Each structure stands twice: as C-alpha cells, then as structure tokens.
Amino acid sequence: MAYLDEYQKWLEYPALDPALKEELEAMKGNEKAIEDAFFAPLSFGTAGLRGVMGAGINRMNRYTVAQATKGLSEYILSFGKETAERGCAVCYDSRNNSALFSEIVARVLAHDGIRVFLFDELRPTPELSFIIRRNGYVAGVNVTASHNPKEYNGYKVYWEDGAQLSDAVAGAVSERIRATDLFGVELADFEEAKRNGLITILGKETDEAFYEAILKTSINPGAIREAAPGFKVIYTPFHGAGYREVPEILRRLGQESFYPVKEQMVVDGNFPTVKSPNPENKEGFAIAIDMAKKMNVDLIVGTDPDADRLGAVVRNAEGEYVSLTGNQMGVLLLDYIIRARKENGTLSDKAVMITSCVSTRMAEAVADAGGVETDYCFTGFRFIAERMNKAVSEGKQFLLGFEESCGYLMGDYARDKDAVGAAAVAIEMAAYYHLRGKTLYDVLIECYRKYGYYSETTMNLVMPGVDGLERIRGLMKSLREEPPADIAGRAVAAVSDHLAGTRKSASGTEALPAHLTGSNVLGFMLADGSEVLVRPSGTEPKVKVYVLTRGKSAEEAEKTKSELTEACKGWI
C-alpha cells in the first residue's frame, strides 16, 4: 500500500529529525496510525495548510512546511527578480513549533534569493496583513492554526493585497508544492542570510504603524476616557499573540480599569487553562467570568492565539454572564457604527457593510434601516477582502466586514479579520453605552425589538478518518442532486447551488451574482423564511451547516432553530 511505502521512506531517511524518527518508531505495527499520517499529503488551499503536528505527509512538521514554502518560493520567482526583491513577510503565533516553522519558512525563501522580513516574536495575523500592504511586500506567511486545539498548527499565506490567496494563486502554488521533493528542499544558514540582507528582522516599528491604523477607526475616541474609571473590562488572549497589542491599544485609548486574566497572559502553545483556545466557546472564559463576578464587571473580551477572532461575554439583566455569538457582536458593531457616524456626521450616503452569506440576516435589517448597502460574499475573509477592494475602488465608505465565526474588520488598513482592532471598537462601543446607562446586553435586546428576533447556529457534521473526505463528497452530491423537499416539516421554497451559480424555485431557475458562484455551498430557503446553508470545511474533515431563523418572538426563533438543527443531524 502507498502509505506503507511512504512510511518506510521516512523511516529510512538518514537525516530525519530525531523526534520525528522516534514517533515513527512508535507507530510500528499500528497500521491505522500509519495510514492516518501517510495516506495523503496535507491539502494546500486558499487557507494554506492546517493539520495535526507530527511525523508524516498528512501532518504539520518541518518537512511539510519546507515543501510548502518551496512551492510558494517558486511561484514568487516565476514573476522575476524584482518581485523576489519586494520580499515576503513572515510571522507566527504562540503555538508549539510556530517559531521553528517560521524560521524554516524564512530560510527556504532566503536560500532561493527572496528577501524575508521576519518578525522578532509572535504577532497577530492582522498585523501581517497590514504590514504587507503598508510596506509593499509581494506575500506573507503566518505560522498559525488560529483557534484550533493545541495539537494543530498551520500555515496561512497572503498575497500582495494583504488577503489570503485566491483560488487561482493557491492552485498555482499547490502545483509547485506537489512537484517538490519533500526531503530535497534546501535552506539558507539563518545567520548568514541575516548578514547578507536576505533576512531582515521586524520589530516594534511595525507595531507603532499598526496601532496608528487601528486608532484611526475610532468614531468616539473620547468615550473610553470619559467612561473611566467606572467602566471596567476584563481581557484574555488565551495564551496567544494578542497579549501585548490589545492591552497597548486600550491603554492608548484611555481604558483605565482594564484587567487581564494573568494566567492566560502567559504565552504557551499548550493552552493549559483551556480545552480549546477558541473565543467562540464560553467555557474558555471560565477564569475571566469568576473574576468578573468578584469585580462587578459587565464586559469580557478574548482573542484567539493569532488574534484575528474576538469573543465577548456580557452580563445580562439577571446578572448572568452570557457569550455573544459572532452574529450578535456583528449586529451590535454595525448598529453602533451607523448610529455613531450619523451622530458625528461621518456616515456617507455610499456606505457599505460586507458579510458572508452564512452570517445573520439581521445585519441586513440593521443596514437597511440605516441606509447602508449590504454586500454578501462567500465564507472566508479573503472574499470580504475582494468585495472591500471593489467597494473602495467605487468610492464607497467601508463600514464593517464580518463573519459569524467572530471575525471583524472596521478599517481598510488590512484585508483580514482583526481582533485587536475589533477589541478597540467593541470596548469603545461598550463605553459609549455605559455613559448612557446601558450594557451591551441591554442594547442587543433593543436591537431585537427594533429589527426582529433572529437566531442562528452553526453545526458541524464531522466525518474523520481516511473515508471522511469521500463521505463529505457523498453528502454534498446527494443534497445537490436530490435536495430535500422539506426540513423539519418546513417546505423548501428555493435551492441555491453556489457551485453551479443557480437558484431554483417554483417560479424557475435564475442566475446567482457572479461573485457568489463557483464555491461548494448549498442554500435551502424555507417557506417560513428560515435558511439552511451547507458547505464542506476548507481546513477540517467536516461539513458545516448554518441554520438561520427569524421569528415573531425570541422563543419562536429559537424553537425553529432547534427543530431545523435536529433534522439536519439526520443527514449523516
């Protein structure tokens, strides 16, 4: 079998990393473990690479990282010497092996004559996106697995506009990766490359420029200072890259009563205080909530290991601490931005909000009420970046880009979600309402009463193992070729096939907008106004199901969501 041959090849490689060699020896006789590690290479796509760390072609390790970088290097070099001299920025997060992998990235690029600008220590993903644009680099790499568990690492690649790779560029890089000998990638000597000017170390000067860009997104820059010291905030970086930037930006905004979760301010790739460093999950905020109860704090914010996602916990009317979903925070931010810009006269009549097609429809209701355009795109901030580029080129005012998975961007300084900037605006927003005697939870309830009762959830149909990809393909094929007539007893009124670019209903077939065509997403619009959207994950062995509902009351919206969710579980 091919995977056994590949396993043997690794075992016999004389210069193999000793730790990986030991792991391979421990696999002997365990064919299942060998198959999982060697059945296929990690897939390189628009989100780069992501996988469990360890030995094997289906794992993140020094060899798969070098191979991926060689593919990127050859793609950059195909544009000529001048492009190579523009250089590639490289940074990393707090994960185990991230610093090692980033150095390997730098050494592969430098060996091939591509200038490298390597951060001196971990940095937020959005700072990489920002600095690519600001300094005119041709590309960037961040070694991170975002919010995944500690066993994972990853490799995000950005192009010259500061956004993650397009399908075309990712495909071109992937071809070159496949043609690269895994053990044949040559690396420059790190210190020699520094002396020769091929590797330049980036430091605090980039942070200063990043802070300046974020501060410009403030709408009410005096709100935080005015609300202090009575307005209190607790913050956790979940052991990640936000540990320095978020406190610093809040200090500059005047947030006096700021309380970091000390245990989680420690940079640690084992994430010892949380099961998973995902700010979407309330359980990660347990220590912060205990602090909030003792200190009478209304707002807790947290950022994931590469500081591109922002989570928040607020105190409700009963005094209980509840997590805001990514959709709820997106709605609150949009409503605040529109309100505040109208108050200070900075809202353009050509303003636009951009969100993913799987995010809450409540945002569109808020935008409509404020005279703001809503632009939908596919899931992933690279698509929001594409629509941002179009909006800016058309002279529109970009207000907010957001997606339901806790990703937000309020300025056009970057082309990826930014939890540092989002924390600044979210806390400014909370301070603004604190001055008016309201918490964010109070404002959320006001929004529901004003715009309608919406409820959403994301469900993962996980299909692990060697046969997982085939099961995923089978489910998508079945839903596409024989779509359900109803879901939980609610008739399917229309089916949107974003791969084919069509929307079919009783009245016929119509074409979807061009920018919403070509991705493996299915949407089922139900007769009661609910929607169910389905897509395979780009980085994990699962199908994501998004359930979007609206009701005349919160109870009705929740009931519909629950029934639709249960029905969709029966698909596997």
Amino acid in position 55: A
219 DSSP assignment = S
Domain membership flag for residue 298: yes
What are the residue ranges of helices labelled H in 456-553? 468-481
The answer for residues whose C-beta is within 8 angstroms of residue 402's C-beta and 6 or more apart is 326, 329, 330, 333, 334, 353, 354, 355, 359, 363, 384, 408, 409, 417
Regarding whether 507 and 415 lie in a shared domain, the answer is no
C-alpha closest to that of 132 among 365, 452, 380, 385: 385
Give whole-number Cα distances, 415 to 126, 149, 158, 177, 327, in Å: 8, 25, 9, 25, 20
| Interior angle at CA 173, CA 171 and CA 178, nearest 5 | 95
Q: What does the pLDDT look like over 217-269, one tens digit per residue?
A: 999 999 999 998 899 999 999 999 999 999 999 999 999 899 999 999 999 99
Of 557, 223, 245, 564, which is closest to residue 414 (Cα–Cα)? Answer: 245
SS3 at position 139: strand
Q: Is residue 361 part of a domain?
A: yes
**What are the pLDDT digits (tens) for 260-311?**
999 999 999 999 999 999 999 999 999 999 999 999 999 999 999 999 999 9
Instruction: State the pTM of this model.
Output: 0.95
The residues near 122 (Cβ < 8 Å, ≥ 6 apart) are 91, 92, 93, 94, 98, 99, 240, 241, 267
Q: Is there a single domain that holds both residue 346 and residue 466?
A: no
146 as an active site residue: the answer is yes
User: Which CATH number belongs to the domain containing residue 65 in this structure?
Assistant: 3.40.120.10
Looking at the structure, do residues 177 and 74 belong to the same domain, yes or no? yes
Asked whether residue 475 is assigned to any structural domain, the reply reads yes
Q: Is 136 a domain residue?
A: yes
The verdict on 231 and 341 lying in the same domain is: yes
- The answer to whether residues 440 and 558 belong to one domain is no
Q: 173: domain range?
A: 40-202
Contact 265, 237 (CB under 8 A): yes
Asked if 536 and 408 sit in the same domain, the reply is no
Q: Please, what is the Cα angle at 262 between 261 and 266, to 5 degrees?
A: 115
Q: Are residues 488 and 538 in the same domain?
A: yes
In this prediction, residue 466 carries a pLDDT of 67
Q: How many folded domains does the chain comprise?
A: 3
Report DSSP state, residue 43: P
- Same domain flag for 262 and 183: no
Same-domain status, 124 and 153: yes
The enclosing domain of 483 has a CATH number of 3.30.310.50
Segment 344-403, tens digit of pLDDT: 999 999 999 999 999 999 999 999 999 999 999 999 999 999 999 999 999 999 999 999
Distances (CA, A) of 64 to 7, 107, 146, 185, 461: 14, 14, 18, 10, 28
- Contact present, 94 and 123 (Cβ < 8 Å): no
Among the three residues 140, 174, 202, which one is the final residue of a domain in this structure? 202
Q: What is the pLDDT of residues 81-130, one digit of tens each?
A: 999 999 999 999 999 999 999 999 999 999 999 999 999 999 999 999 99
Q: Which of 451, 481, 499 is the last residue of a domain?
A: 451
One domain for residues 432 and 320: yes
CA-based nearest residue to 58, from 37, 74, 79: 37
Q: Which of 146, 356, 405, 496 is catalytic?
A: 146
Give me the residues paired with residue 354 across strands.
375, 401
